Amino acid sequence: MNYPRPEYPNPQFQRKDWENLNGIWEFEIDRSVSGTDRKLYNSKKFSRSITVPFCPESKLSGINITDFLNSVWYRRCINIKKDDKRIILHIGACDYLTTCYINSKIAGSHKGGYTSFSFDITDYVHDGENTVVIHALDDDRSGLQPRGKQSDKYRSYGCRYTRTTGIWQTVWLEYVPQTHIESVKYYPDSSNGILNIKAIVKGDGKLTAKAYYHGKEVGSSSVFSNGQNADLSVQLKEKHLWEVGNGRLYDLVLTYGEDTVQSYFGLRNIELDKNRFLLNGQPVYLRTVLDQGYYPDGVYTAPEENDMIRDIQIALDAGFNGARLHEKVFEPRFLYHCDRIGYLVWGEYANWGLDHTELHSLPTILREWMEAVDRDYNHPSIIGWCPFNETWDLNGKKQNDEVIEMTYRFTKSIDTTRPCIDTSGNFHVMTDIFDFHDYCQDPELFKEYLKKLEDEDIVFCQVARNSKYKGRQTYRGGPVFLSEYGGIKWTDENDKKAWGYGNSPKTKEEYISRYQALTEAVMKNSKLMGFCFTQLYDVEQEKNGLYTYDRVPKFDMSIIKEINSQKAAIEEIQDPDSQE
């Protein structure tokens, strides 16, 4: 059967017994938000059809309606043969409040538009044909839910883009033995060549972990469990470190009773040392780029798996070694390719749209942010967390520092292995790294601002220069990361709707000259641990990408790569496909 996005959604926790439910579903737009009262979950047929997993705002969905869609419904019949296994319905992501009905009965609900969730539907299904109905409520103008870069106006504008409503990642069924593994967390020890594993299991049994490298078994361990927790360590016979440009992933097979899970891990550790980022004890300079995770025809969803691989490759082609995955929780399949290639990424959250001035917003962000951290914890490519971005004053009210601080503390309580930036750009409350944003377009002024950090230990940046925010952003030492700069607009001069930072260069030569001067000013500053350029590709009207929205290079990327690779003592990125 041909259906979109046929690959298994989460390569780090994969079972063989599964069924992809992507493809054509019945669909209904509930403009009056009265579908529950009208009992649409009992309906025998909906008026439209949609291609899942693409959101209705996208062209690939077949709907292509970009107006506000506050309530949408999906319906599909599935054939199930019941046996002694549990039947789990997985939804990769659905924006925002999702309710699932199986044969007209509520099987569960989930709040949040960015993280994966599942429902055990075993007790709701029968042999033969069953009806699945999924309802999504989404209000991007409420101030009560995060929306990331989704526009809060009818049209896209500035750095706000087309909205995403409802399902936008793969939906699938999984058949799981009664005694099974529910979840695992990996704690690699790169110094000693050990993988520590903490698992949550269901039912009594023996947990066995076998590690392989290029098909050769290099370690195994087993432990018995009473059906709750199971902890074990695997001493590896061969040590292959996860590095920039070469993921060197180990395959891992986990068994518990009749349950078998295929997984993988990378052997790496992260530390901060004064103004340096250390990977396996070695300094790595962060040459990263802003990736918004948008696609012309799929909006939030990559049309094909190769489109995700391409986005990593075009960043490598431009001389970057990683990315800020910006204002969006990216899907696990994308992170898998980052893991495989050795591409450094920051795990972020789509906090824009959420009222960060009120303490009552804390449960909203913590619920889903903790789900994101928990889901993506095992990815070696994720080198840090960032739950908030640019928490500017909102409607004349300052950010609630308790919201920022508590989110930071919760993040660190469940992950002590990675640094956490509390709120990227502004205004820091409690953070492991002092990052800042500066879109100054004058290279000489930019260099002068950055020199304050070397000469006076002051981050004299975009926020500090604004008298409105005096005293709100004080550097108190520690690692410093310029996590947004550049944003140089480049587009056809006839494109009147184009948006970007500052004035657009008149020629490509002028663009390259400005890019080189700004970037060299950053790389020559001894206090900075790295940079993040805005941005990798254009998104709709925002035209400050190095590539167009269709991922066509605007410039000779060999020149950009040469500029980005000038930092002393920084090795060129290896060929991702090279072997040891």
From 505, 467, 463, 476, select the one nearest 488 (Cα to Cα): 505
For 420-442, give the DSSP string: B-SEESS--SS-SSEEEEE----
Q: Is the dihedral of CA 401, 402, 403, 409 positive or negative?
A: positive
Where does 180-189+191-270 sit in CATH, by number? Answer: 2.60.40.10
User: In the prediction, which pLDDT does 152 show?
Assistant: 96
Is 205 within 8 Å of 193 (Cβ atoms)?
Answer: no
Paired with 75 in beta bridges are 26, 133
Q: Which residue has the tokens 């049209």?
A: 155
Where does 23-169 sit in CATH, by number? Answer: 2.60.120.260
- Average pLDDT by stretches of 10, the chain with 580 residues: 90 97 98 97 97 98 98 97 95 98 98 98 97 97 92 96 98 97 97 97 97 98 93 98 97 97 98 95 96 98 98 98 98 98 98 95 95 98 98 94 98 97 97 97 96 94 90 91 97 84 91 97 95 98 97 97 75 37
Given its phi and psi angles, is residue 108 left (phi above 0), alpha (psi -120 to 50 degrees) or beta? left
pTM (2 decimals)? 0.96
The set of residues, in sequence order, having a beta carbon less than 8 Å from that of 509 and lying 6+ positions away, is none
CA 277 – CA 283 distance, rounded (Å):
6
How many residues in the chain? 580
User: In the prediction, which pLDDT does 357 show?
Assistant: 96
Question: What ranges do the domains of the chain cover?
Answer: 23-169, 180-189+191-270, 280-564
CATH 3.20.20.80 fits 280-564, yes or no: yes
User: In the prediction, which pLDDT does 575 show?
Assistant: 37
Is 553 within 8 Å of 314 (Cβ atoms)?
Answer: yes
User: In the prediction, which pLDDT does 576 show?
Assistant: 37
- The identity of residue 159, as a single letter, is C
Chain-centre distance for alpha carbon 522: 26
